[in-house]
Amino acid sequence: MASKRRARTSRPPSVADIVKAHKNYVNAINSNNTNRVMACYDKGAAVMQPDGPLVTGHGPIRKWVADYFQAYQTHWIKKSKVMWVAGDYGFDQGVDTAADQPRKGGPIERYTVKGILIYKRQKNGAFKVYRDIWNNNSPPTLTRS
């Protein structure tokens, strides 16, 4: 029986590949477009959010993202502190700030979080989000727009 091997690019992965994937993910989030965000997720992705359930698989993640964008106009600033690659996985440890403007009106929710993004290398050599894990540094603050 022939073994199945994943096609890979000839070049080994680098931190630059993780930087590119990270920028794509941040830009997708800030577009507030569900399809753009979903294009950044690996088929086996999981979201480990604070104060909420584990969200796994494209269907449930798509609903989770769409519900978020339906409720809020969001903007994230994600600052990577450490990035590294180990085989087919890339890691990004960072501190993020976010501002969520409720679409139905009300004060803007502002918060800071710390988190780890784990990226998984795809057959074409690109990286996609495999795990998005974060927790809040403090409760959100509410401000007028």
Please report which confidence band the pLDDT of residue 9 belongs to, taking 50, 70 and 90 as the band edges: low
Whether residue 64 lies inside any domain: the answer is yes
Whether residue 1 lies inside any domain: the answer is no
pTM: 0.89
Distance, in Å, from the CA atom of 118 to the CA atom of 129, rounded to the nearest integer, reads 6
Tally of domains in the chain: 1
The residue segments making up the domain with residue 36 are 15-143
Whether residue 65 lies inside any domain: the answer is yes
Whether residue 101 lies inside any domain: the answer is yes
Report phi then psi at 68, rounded to 5: -60, -50
Q: What is the CATH number of the domain that holds 59?
A: 3.10.450.50
98: which strand partners?
Answer: 76, 111
Q: What is the pLDDT of residues 71-123, one digit of tens each?
A: 999 999 999 999 999 999 999 999 999 999 999 999 999 999 999 999 999 99
Whether residue 2 lies inside any domain: the answer is no
Whether residue 3 lies inside any domain: the answer is no
Whether residue 10 lies inside any domain: the answer is no
Instruction: State which amino acid sits at residue 12.
Output: P
Report phi then psi at 13, rounded to 5: -65, 155
Whether residue 39 lies inside any domain: the answer is yes
Is the pLDDT at 47 greater than 80? The verdict is yes
